[in-house]
Amino acid sequence: EGAGGGAPPPREGEKSLETLRPLRPRFFLPREVANLHGFPPHFGFPPEVSTRKQYELLGNSLSVQVVATLLRYLLLPAGDGMAVEEQRRRGSEA
């Protein structure tokens, strides 16, 4: 405790939270996080899954598009990965 019996010093992380509070940041909604990860628009969680758990599950997920691109790049012969990616892009634009 501080001098004079005041409140204990803030724990790690609380100080930065207090710094952000006046800025009134807007946090992403779980649906927005799902969109960023490439989940389809019809994806949703069952009603019994809490918002906190949704954030946790989404935070542990991977973007399928990013992983697929990385795997093509890493596993196909040199240069082929990028050619496949370019063909995929052209096909989705048609």
Convert the pLDDT of each residue in 43-58 to its tens digit: 999 999 999 999 999 9
pLDDT of the residue at 53: 96
The answer, as to whether pTM is greater than 0.75, is no
Q: Which two tokens stand for residue 85?
A: 């990616």
Measured between alpha carbons, how far is 53 from 45 in angstroms, rounded to an integer? 10
